Amino acid sequence: MQADELTVKQLGPCAVDSPLMRAAGGWNFDFIGDERRVLMDITTQPRPDCEGLSFEQAGPRRKIFFDPKNVRAAILTAGGLCPGLNDVIRGIVMELHYWYGVEVVYGIRYGYQGLTRDTQWPPRPLTMDEVEDIQAHGGTILGSSRGRRDSGEMIETMQQLGINMLFTIGGDGTSRAAHELACEIEKRSLPIAVVSIPKTIDNDIQFVYRSFGFATAVEVSKGVLTCAHVEAKGAPHGVSIVKLMGRDSGAIAAHATLASGDVNYCLVPELPFPLEGEDGLLAHLRARLPQRNHAVICVAEGAGQHLIGDSGRRDASGNIKYNDIGLFLRDAIAADFKQHSEEVNIKYFDPGYTIRSTAAVSADSIFCSDLADHAVHAAMAGKTDVVIGYWHGVFTNVPMAAVVGRKRRIDPRGKLWRAVLSATGQPGHWGLKA
């Protein structure tokens, strides 16, 4: 990656005084200049591939691009549900209303589908009354959907509504679509800002140390693992299998394993584990149960795909639909113990939709509010084709092109995975290459 790849696009010069000074009664805001940067690697001996690279720091600017009285903003949520969506929506509306005096905010319904010419779901006005208490509820008041739409058609809809500021809340697919939309807007030389708030419950967005919803997912998953442990201990030779979210990254499974302390095997996409043979999972289970009488397996949904193969199916966003590793393990363990004439009592937990649809915990709610504030500051300053990042404890403005298509994964030799191995006692060499 080169330094210019981290340069944020700007709609034009910022000539409007920020209303934040006036809104705060003259209190001196800590305005951020574009020259303030956050180093990619903050160690005294940076890695060669990171040396000299930095992100633009997010935050309010003294001079802004848009005159607030001319702003017509819109918000959409796309992809799967995630705790905190309503918190972000509310935060954007409140920041626009209270601090910038923006009067018109549209809620685009059911993701990008709501911007199509023939949509059945017209935009809904988002007033302060509309968002008053939505943070107490899971899901999104705007609805969500997957799949791309024609950028030209969406731009026409935005122009008809007079929208000059679009906030998209979603994961990699949502940001990819937002990037394509921003590029088409740039080609047409239109003064429309597109800002993305990163949402992935898997916490696998590159250059975003933490994405909202992740803390809630870990907290709820911990409770499920506790129940799974109780169930496993409640029957002779009990085995509980808990399948958690995590298509390409096992971050939820790893952190929930550490939070729980009750997991004996944590299986993640980054480390292909062996099933058969003397060193496989099945043999380890058969050796463990006579000694400990129970076992808890926490498996990320994308783990073990090398064992069950490609489903050949894709969702509306183009993501491969994985075969169910949880059910596969349940059936494989039952068959193996039957073959060896050994007793096993298996309990299977799949809490995915329960976790996705729950309301955010306090830490996530606060984080969502911060993300919303920084997204509004970026948009008002005319920054576009940008994702709000979080790096070394600082909020950043990251070009969408630097984020889309890149996944953050567990480092098999890093401290997180070492902690998981210490907590579970499972074989440390599974999945490692010499």
Token duo for residue 353: 């939709």
User: Domain range spanning residue 230?
Assistant: 214-357+412-424
| Residue 133's CATH number | 3.40.50.450
Flag whether 431 is in a domain: no
pLDDT at 20: 86
Give the per-residue pLDDT at 25: 61
- Residue 427's alpha-carbon distances to 281, 290, 432, in angstroms, are 9, 18, 10
| 432 inside domain | no
Q: Which residues of 77-87 are buried (b: 16+ CB within 10 A; e: fewer)?
A: bbbbbbbbbbb
Q: How many CA atoms lie within 13 A of 31 on its CB side?
A: 15
Query: pLDDT tens digits, residue range 20-57?
Result: 877 656 566 778 999 999 999 888 888 888 888 999 99
Phi/psi class of residue 409: alpha, beta or left (left: φ > 0; alpha: ψ in -120 to 50)?
A: beta
Decide if 202 is catalytic: yes
Backbone angles phi, psi at 222, to 5 degrees: -60, -45
Is 434 part of any domain?
A: no
Task: Average the pLDDT over 232-248 and give the result.
Answer: 95
Same domain as 325, residue 179: no
Residue 102 falls inside a structural domain = yes
- Does one domain contain both 350 and 385? no
Whole-angstrom distance, CA of residue 20 vs CA of residue 218: 36
Q: What is the mean pLDDT of residues 149-154?
A: 92
298: enclosing H helix or E strand = strand 294-300
Answer yes or no: do 248 and 375 share one domain: no
Give just the sign of the alpha carbon dihedral 272, 305, 177, 186: positive
**Shared domain check, 151 and 138:** yes
pLDDT at 269 over 90: yes
- Mean pLDDT over 297-323 rounds to 81
Taking only the tens place, the pLDDT of each residue in 100-126 is 999 999 999 999 999 998 888 999 999
Residues 6 or more apart from 257 whose CB is under 8 A from it?
225, 263, 266, 298, 420, 423, 424
Is 433 part of any domain?
Answer: no
Categorise residue 297: left if φ over 0, alpha if ψ from -120 to 50, beta otherwise: beta
Q: Which of 46 and 274 is assigned the larger pLDDT?
A: 274
What is the reported pLDDT for 16? 95
Specify the number of domains making up the chain.
Answer: 2
Beta strands 386-391; 193-198: pairing state: parallel
User: Are residues 187 and 118 located together in one domain of the fold?
Assistant: yes
- φ/ψ region of 38 (left if φ > 0, alpha if ψ in -120 to 50, else beta) reads beta
**The two three-digit tokens of residue 222, written as one number:** 């911990």
117 and 175 share one domain: yes
Q: What is the pLDDT at residue 50? A: 82
Whether residue 89 sits in one domain with residue 17:
yes
Residue 311: pLDDT above 80?
no
Residue 28 pLDDT: 63
Amino acid 52: pLDDT:
83
* φ, ψ dihedrals at 409, nearest 5°: -125, 165
Assign 316 a pLDDT band (cuts: 50, 70, 90): low
CA-nearest of 416, 381, 418, 58 to 207 is 58
pLDDT interval class at 2 (50, 70, 90)? confident
C-alpha–C-alpha distance, residues 297 and 265, integer Å: 5
Give the global pTM: 0.92
Q: Is residue 429 part of a domain?
A: no
Query: Are residues 47 and 136 located together in one domain of the fold?
Result: yes
Domain contains 122: yes
Over residues 342-373, the pLDDT tens digits come to 999 999 999 999 999 999 999 999 999 999 99
> In this predicted structure, what is the pLDDT of residue 107?
97
Which pLDDT score, from 0 to 100, does residue 37 have?
A: 94
Q: Which two tokens stand for residue 398?
A: 């990251």
Q: Do 9 and 35 share a structural domain?
A: yes
Task: Please check whether residue 430 lies inside any domain of the structure.
Answer: no
Same domain, 198 and 235: no
Looking at the structure, do residues 74 and 200 belong to the same domain, yes or no?
A: yes
- Averaged pLDDT for residues 281-310: 94
Please give the residue that has the higher pLDDT: either 201 or 316. 201
Identify the CATH number of the domain in which residue 344 sits: 3.40.50.460
Report, as an integer, the average pLDDT of 142-154: 90
User: Residue 159 above 90 pLDDT?
Assistant: yes
Shared domain for 184 and 307, answered yes or no, is no
pLDDT digit string, tens, across residues 54-90: 999 999 999 999 999 999 999 999 999 999 999 999 9
Query: pLDDT, tens digit, for every residue of 165-211?
Result: 999 999 888 999 999 999 999 999 999 999 999 888 888 888 888 88
If pLDDT is split at 50, 70 and 90, which confidence band does 289 have? very high
Place of tokens 């001319």: 70
pLDDT in tens, 210-231: 889 999 999 999 999 999 999 9
Residue type, 168: T
pLDDT at site 317: 61
Q: Is it the case that residue 433 has pLDDT exceeding 90?
A: no
Once rounded to an integer, what is the mean pLDDT over residues 288-314?
89
Q: Is the pLDDT of residue 319 over 80?
A: no
12-35 b/e (C-beta count within 10 Å ≥ 16 → b): eebebebbbeeeeeeeeeeebeee
Model pLDDT, residue 407: 84
pLDDT, averaged across the chain: 92
**One-letter amino acid of 50:** C
Which is catalytic among the residues 87, 172, 202, 248? 202
